[in-house]
Amino acid sequence: MTDYVLGIDTSAYTTSVALTDFNTGEVIADKRAVLSIPSGKKGLRQQDAVFQHLKNFCRLYEEIEAELKNIKVVSVSSKPRNVEGSYMPVFTVGQGYGKTIAGTLDCKYLEYSHQENHIAASLINQYKKLNNNILAIHMSGGTTEFLSVSKAHKGYNASIEGGSKDITFGQLVDRVGTIMEFPFPCGIYMEKYLENNFNIENIKVPAISGESYINLSGMENYYSNLYLSGKYSMESVINSLFRYISDCILHVINSIKQKIYFDTVILAGGVASNGMIRSLVSEKLNQYKVIFPTKENSSDNAVGVSFLPIIDRWYNENKTH
C-alpha cells in the first residue's frame, strides 16, 4: 500500500495542497489557487483572505484523484516563522482543515512554519547533502529575511541575520507595479512586459541604505516618482528596479559574510522566481553553492511542507551521532 503525506499551506495570497508519496518522494498532486485581489488594490485584508481559503481548500482537496485513505501524515504550515509568537490568521485555515482530516483518518498531524516550507521546497533534491552552513533568503510579498539555516530534529532552525527594516522586496515591486497598472501581484506581469520591450535606458539610483538590514520605503517613492515623471520608459524603470533588488541582495550577503560562515545560498519565495534577479544574483555568487527552487516552487506552495516529514525521517535515521 502506498503511504501519502498531505501538505497544506494557506498563505497570504495562495491556497496550496500537495500530496507526496512518503516512501519515494514523488509528488502525486500539487493543487494551488491564487487568491482573488480586486483590480487596483495592493493586497487583501486577512479576513478576506481567510474567507477565500475556506472556499478554495474544499475545491482543491476534492480535485486530488489519489486514494485519500492512504494519507498517513498531514503536514501543515501553521505560522509564518518558526519562532514563538509568530502568527497570521490565514494559517489557521490550514490548521483547522489539517486537524480535521488527520482526526478523521486517524493519522499523524504535524505543524511547521511557512518559512520552513520554502526552505524544504528549495532542498527537495538536495536535502541529503545539505544540512548546515546555509544562508536562506526568503523574499516575498510579506517577507524579506536573510536566515542562517541548519537542520533540526524537526524541520529547520533559522536565525535572522539580515533583511529589510520597512517594506519587503515584494511590496516594493507590487507598489511600483500597481502605479504602472499591472495586475496584483505585479512581479510576473512586469517581468513579462520587460521580456517584450527592449528600449532600456540607464538609470542612476541612490546608494543602498543600510548594511545587513536595509531600508526600501524610500525606493518606493523614488521609482514611483521616476515613472510618473515620464522621463524614462516603463521598461527602463522596471529594469532598474529589478537590478536594484539584485544589488540589495548581494549587498546584504556581502555584509552577512563578514559575521557568519556559509557555503550555500538559497533564494526562495515569490521574488526569487524572477528570471532577471536569478541571473544577476547567481552570476555574482560563484564562490557559493547557489540553490533556487523551481520557479513553481519559489512562489507559495504546499510541496515543501509535504516533504518536511520525509526530510525529517531521513535526517533522524541517517545523521551521525
Task: Determine, yes or no, domain membership for 147.
Answer: no
pLDDT in tens, 131-162: 999 999 999 888 999 999 999 999 999 999 99
Q: Is pLDDT at 99 greater than 60 in this prediction?
A: yes
- 99/83 same-domain check: yes
Which pLDDT value is given to residue 261? 97
Q: How far is 174 from 177, CA to CA, in rounded Å?
A: 5
Average pLDDT over residues 48-72: 97
Strand partners, 150: 157
- 120/177 same-domain check: no
Instruction: Decide if 124 contacts 303 (C-beta within 8 A).
Output: yes
Q: What is the pTM of this model?
A: 0.93
Average pLDDT over residues 267-279: 94
Q: In which residue are the cell numbers 525529517 written?
A: 312
Which pLDDT value is given to residue 43? 76
Kindly list the distances between the CA atom of residue 216 and the CA atoms of 144, 153, 221, 284, in Å, as whole numbers in the listed order: 11, 36, 9, 22
Q: How far is 93 from 144, CA to CA, in rounded Å?
A: 24
The torsion defined by the Cα of 112, 117, 122 and 125, in degrees rounded to 10, comes to 60
- 118/184 same-domain check: no
Residue 29 φ/ψ, nearest 5 degrees: -150, 140
Residue (of 91, 130, 139) closest to 311 by Cα position: 130
The CATH number assigned to the domain holding 220 equals 3.30.420.40
Residue (of 221, 219, 227) closest to 144 by Cα position: 219
Instruction: Decide if 193 contacts 235 (C-beta within 8 A).
Output: yes
- 311/255 same-domain check: no
Tell me, rounded to whole angstroms, the distance of Cα 257 from its chain centroid: 22
Task: Determine, yes or no, domain membership for 153.
Answer: no
Task: Determine, yes or no, domain membership for 91.
Answer: yes
- 212/271 same-domain check: yes
Domain extent, residue 35, equals 4-124+295-318
How many domains does the chain fold into?
2
* 141 secondary structure, DSSP code: S
**Burial of 196 by CB count in 10 Å (0-12 exposed, 13-18 middle, 19+ buried)?**
exposed
- 209/282 same-domain check: yes
Task: Determine, yes or no, domain membership for 141.
Answer: no
Task: Determine, yes or no, domain membership for 157.
Answer: no
Per-residue pLDDT band at 321 (split at 50, 70, 90): very low
Q: How far is 129 from 94, CA to CA, in rounded Å?
A: 30
The torsion defined by the Cα of 130, 135, 141 and 142, in degrees rounded to 10, comes to 100
pLDDT in tens, 100-136: 999 999 999 999 999 999 999 999 999 999 999 999 9
Task: Determine, yes or no, domain membership for 64.
Answer: yes
- 179/108 same-domain check: no
Q: Is pLDDT at 320 greater than 70 in this prediction?
A: no
Q: In which residue are the cell numbers 493586497 written?
A: 43
Q: Which residues contact 51 (CB under 8 A, 6 or more apart)?
A: none
Task: Determine, yes or no, domain membership for 187.
Answer: yes
For 112, other C-beta atoms within 10 Å of its C-beta total 25
Average pLDDT over residues 294-317: 96
- 167/286 same-domain check: yes
Q: How far is 79 from 90, CA to CA, in rounded Å?
A: 9
Radius of gyration (C-alpha) of the chain in whole angstroms: 20
Task: Determine, yes or no, domain membership for 155.
Answer: no
Residue 150 φ/ψ, nearest 5 degrees: -145, 155
- 278/304 same-domain check: no
- 171/116 same-domain check: no
- 63/87 same-domain check: yes
- 12/116 same-domain check: yes
pLDDT in tens, 191-246: 999 988 878 999 999 999 999 999 999 999 999 999 999 999 999 999 999 999 99
Q: How far is 277 from 271, CA to CA, in rounded Å?
A: 8
pLDDT in tens, 10-53: 999 999 999 999 999 999 999 999 999 887 777 789 999 999 99
